[in-house]
């Protein structure tokens, strides 16, 4: 154990360890706080509805950024759905 109050030398080691311990504890508290906020938010908004909306937005943005790939996928889906080959 590092005695930061009555030690005659190297007190800085204990002070630095204490600072890092406090920062680690505050980080854990912050993560738990954010997790609880996220759970409350998704319970109120509906996780399924929110996830589908976000996935749709991501897919639409990707299709906008890559129109050639979107055209290829649409053509392949059309041919596999409406033709026999």
Predicted local confidence at residue 84, as pLDDT: 56
CA 34 vs. chain centroid, Å, equals: 11
Same domain, 22 and 34: yes
Same domain, 51 and 38: no
pLDDT tens-digit map of 20-53: 999 999 999 999 999 999 989 888 877 777 788 8
Predicted local confidence at residue 82, as pLDDT: 65
What is the mean predicted confidence (pLDDT) over 59-70? 88
Rounded Cα distance between 5 and 76, Å, is: 74
Predicted local confidence at residue 22, as pLDDT: 97
Domain enclosing residue 6, as ranges: 1-45
The answer to whether the pTM exceeds 0.75 is no
Same domain, 24 and 41: yes
DSSP letter string over 26-82?
A: HHHHHHHHHHHHHHHHHHHH-HHHHHHHHHHHHHHHHHHH-HHHHHHHHHHHHHHHH
Same domain, 23 and 39: yes
Same domain, 41 and 64: no
Same domain, 39 and 7: yes
Q: Which helix (H) or strand (E) holds 24?
A: helix 11-45
Q: Mean pLDDT score of the chain, rounded to an integer?
A: 85
């Amino acid at each position: 154990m590092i005695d930061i109050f009555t030690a005659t030398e190297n007190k800085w080691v204990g002070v630095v360890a204490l600072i890092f311990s406090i920062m680690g504890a505050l980080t854990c508290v912050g993560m738990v706080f954010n997790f609880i906020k996220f759970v409350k938010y998704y319970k109120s908004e509906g996780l399924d509805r929110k996830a589908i909306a976000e996935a749709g937005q991501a897919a639409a943005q990707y299709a906008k950024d890559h129109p050639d790939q979107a055209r290829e996928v649409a053509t392949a889906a059309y041919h596999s759905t409406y033709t026999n080959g």
